[in-house]
């Protein structure tokens, strides 16, 4: 059985692989790679039964080349220092790849959230914020968390409320965290952002005929078979948007098993089934697979691991039948598996690019909180009036009368969600084309992951040089 190297070591392996294609001095590369700060905290919480439990938690700030640092908070029994540092490093490179001006960070609390009541989770979350604040590990210009595995809008609302109580004098306090409910300063489209980013990224990847031909695939997403491992927020939205674009979702997996239907699954129907039964298993018309790992090995064009790290390893890489692996999770493919799959001609779309939709839209939320203006509020009506007047001029020039419904639809000014989705779409398109161009310049020795790291290293190195720290 292959032994997976530690997660942070895997990230650094990919970094070193890419660094060989750059001309930066060793001391600069060392500074980029190293994790600048790691804070391991322990604190007691009082449970509902009156007992006391000691909680272990972490926050890592990988790079301060740009501030604030940015990264999610996960609640999981698997949280440890190595994982948090690795995820913080990936966030550094992710932000650089999609040109979002943050350094990378990550946090985690080592708990099984299912074993705690809502009130206990609230106490844990608020105490975690207090511990971060007392060590200056949170703030709009310092370090800005977001949701991750096991957390969501509710936890982010607790975080912002606690931070506001601790810093009542700060006008920009709501910008201390992203992924909040809309009523607490969140932004429309944030919940779907990572999954939508996966869709935008895959759509762009599959638009190049010269790249699809060696894989035996046609251009576009229409008709392509898709398997998604993980049916949480990211996996669900990725599957939903891909299905709406004409792709066929043939397999889904959760922690307790998976389902398979070669003719395709109705994503919304599977969601309704899970809401009713608590599981995706035994969905009508699909074959139930008791071992979720089997879903990774199904016949498909596109495999989307959207769960945890280290899911595709040296042990199962030879059984993977997908032609494209689209990494919606962080670190789902080990370094060993990546090299084995690359030799077989499998295209791997790296996590540091493909799941950057969340941090991209978090950036928009952060900007909204700092400006104290809802996106689109200032210009929407002006644009609607301009568009409507232009349509009336066209009517007069052509003699063709448009209906009120057509006028309303064509003259629509962008609201917040329109602007967010447009910004996300542009970000994913531009970033992929930059990665692809780097890959073409470097030749066959460089895959998409290495090309994305090359771009990230060059971007971060430029920041350090502009600061005058390195010549």
Q: By the 8 A CB rule, do 35 and 88 touch?
A: yes
Helix and strand element counts for the chain (H, E):
17, 12
Going by C-alpha positions, the residue among 202, 296, 297 that lies closest to residue 243 is: 202
β-strand partners of 108: 58, 74
Asked if 154 contacts 177 with a C-beta cutoff of 8 angstroms, the reply is no
Secondary structure class of 54 (helix, strand, coil): strand
Catalytic residue among 106, 224, 323, 368: 106
Write out the H or E segment, with its range, that includes residue 452: helix 448-466
Task: Tell me which DSSP letter residue 312 carries.
Answer: B
CA neighbor of 29 nearest in space, from 52, 51, 12? 12
- Beta strand 52-61 with 103-109 is antiparallel
Which residues, in sequence order, are bridge partners of residue 72? 146
Asked about 46 being catalytic, the answer comes back as: no
Tokens (6 digits) for 117: 């009541």
CA neighbours within 13 Å on the CB side: how many for 102?
35
Q: Which of 32, 141, 150, 149 is nearest to 89 (CA)?
A: 32
- Residue carrying structure tokens 């993980």: 230
Contact of 419 with 324, CB cutoff 8 Å: no
Cα 340 to Cα 317: distance, rounded to the nearest angstrom: 7
Beta sheet of 37-46, edge-to-edge order: 37-46, 52-61, 103-109, 69-75, 143-147
- Which residues fall within 8 angstroms of residue 159, CB to CB, at 6 or more apart? 73, 125, 129, 138, 145, 176, 177
Beta strands 69-75 and 143-147 are: parallel
Please check whether residue 84 is in contact with residue 343, taking contact to mean a CB–CB distance below 8 angstroms: no
- For 109, the 3-state DSSP assignment is strand
- Tell whether the torsion through CA atoms of 105, 87, 323 and 15 is positive or negative: positive
Catalytic residues, which ones? 106
């Amino acid at each position: 059985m292959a032994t997976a190297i530690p997660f942070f070591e895997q990230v650094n392996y990919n970094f070193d692989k890419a660094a060989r294609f750059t001309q930066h001095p060793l001391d600069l590369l060392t500074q980029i790679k190293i994790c600048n700060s790691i804070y391991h905290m322990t604190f007691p919480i009082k449970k509902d039964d009156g007992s006391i439990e000691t909680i272990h938690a972490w926050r890592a700030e990988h790079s301060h080349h740009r501030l604030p640092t940015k990264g999610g908070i996960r609640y999981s029994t698997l949280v440890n220092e190595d994982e948090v540092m690795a995820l913080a490093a990936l966030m550094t490179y992710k932000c650089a790849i999609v040109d979002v001006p943050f350094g990378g960070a990550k946090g985690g609390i080592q708990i099984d959230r299912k074993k705690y009541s809502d009130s206990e989770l609230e106490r844990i979350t608020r105490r975690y914020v207090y511990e971060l604040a007392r060590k200056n590990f949170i703030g709009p210009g310092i370090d800005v968390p977001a949701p991750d595995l096991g957390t969501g809008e509710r936890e982010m609302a607790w975080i912002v409320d606690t931070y506001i109580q601790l810093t009542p004098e700060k006008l920009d306090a709501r910008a201390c965290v992203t992924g909040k409910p809309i009523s607490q300063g969140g932004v429309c489209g944030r919940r779907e952002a990572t999954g939508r980013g996966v869709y935008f990224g895959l759509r762009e990847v599959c638009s190049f005929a010269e790249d699809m031909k060696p894989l035996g695939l046609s251009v576009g997403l229409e008709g392509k078979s898709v398997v998604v491992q993980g049916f949480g927020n990211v996996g669900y939205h990725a599957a939903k948007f891909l299905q709406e674009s004409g792709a066929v979702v043939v397999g889904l997996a959760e922690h307790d098993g998976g389902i398979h239907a070669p003719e395709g699954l109705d994503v919304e129907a599977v969601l309704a089934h899970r809401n009713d039964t608590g599981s995706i298993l035994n969905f009508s018309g699909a074959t139930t697979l008791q071992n979720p790992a089997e879903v990774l090995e199904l016949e498909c064009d596109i495999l989307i691991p959207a769960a945890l790290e280290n899911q595709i390893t040296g042990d199962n890489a030879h059984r993977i039948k997908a032609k494209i692996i689209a990494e919606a999770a962080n670190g789902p493919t080990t370094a060993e598996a990546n090299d084995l799959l690359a030799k077989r001609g499998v295209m791997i779309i790296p996590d540091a690019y493909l799941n950057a939709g969340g941090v991209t839209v978090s950036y928009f939320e952060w900007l909204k909180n700092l400006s104290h203006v809802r996106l689109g509020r200032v210009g929407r009506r002006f644009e609607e009036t301009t568009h409507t007047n232009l349509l009336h001029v066209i009517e007069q020039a052509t003699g063709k009368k448009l209906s009120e419904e057509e006028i309303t639809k064509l003259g629509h000014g962008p609201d917040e969600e329109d602007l967010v989705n447009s910004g996300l779409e542009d970000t994913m398109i531009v970033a992929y084309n930059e990665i692809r161009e780097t890959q073409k310049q470097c030749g066959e020795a460089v895959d998409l992951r290495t090309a994305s790291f090359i771009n990230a290293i060059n971007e971060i190195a430029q920041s350090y040089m502009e600061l005058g720290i390195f010549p």
